Structure 1
């Protein structure tokens, strides 16, 4: 196995993991924003734009986690294929 392939696979795992972490952080932050807006709405302030932005951020973060998980899945499959081929 070529060392550059090993580096590429490691990079794919690192990128996938980093994407999952960033997406999870975005979901967490958006969830906190939505929860805090709920308290503001009950007090009578109008925060529909902020609520919309937070919901969009929540969905974007979730999609980012899904995409990064697919990157990890492909990298895992690639490792399996390489092991089957060269082992």
Structure 2
């Protein structure tokens, strides 16, 4: 049981950190798109222009993803603290 619990907590941390990274990348890409709305730079070198509405939605979605993933890391941290208090 201890091995499974340890694996689950490590997995929660890893998934939380990975989610933060992915969402952070999404925020950075959306911010770059918003910054380049009136410029000549195009994401992925498409001929179509950047859609400001989509970029703003992506920005907000990424920010919410960072928040949710940070909560996953926080819960895993609290779980470790509880386990240490219980078994120490």
> TM exceeds 0.5?
yes
Cα deviation, residue 38, structure 1: 3.4
Paired position in structure 2 for 1:6:
6
TM-score, normalised to structure 2, is 0.86
- Which structure has greater helix proportion? 1
Unaligned runs of 5+ in 2: 41-47
Matching of residues 14-25 of structure 1 within 5 Å: 14-25=14-25
Matching of residues 38-77 of structure 1 within 5 Å: 38-39=38-39, 50-77=51-78
Unaligned runs of 5+ in 1: 41-46
Aligned residue pairs, count: 81
CA RMSD of superposed structures (Å): 1.8
Residues 49 and 32 of structure 1: CA distance in aligned 2, closer, same or farther (over 3 Å): closer
Cα deviation, residue 57, structure 1: 0.2
TM-score, normalised to structure 1, is 0.87
Deviating beyond 6 angstroms after TM superposition, the runs of 4 or more aligned structure 1 residues are: none
For residues 37 and 50 of structure 2, the distance between their equivalents in structure 1, rounded to whole angstroms, comes to 11
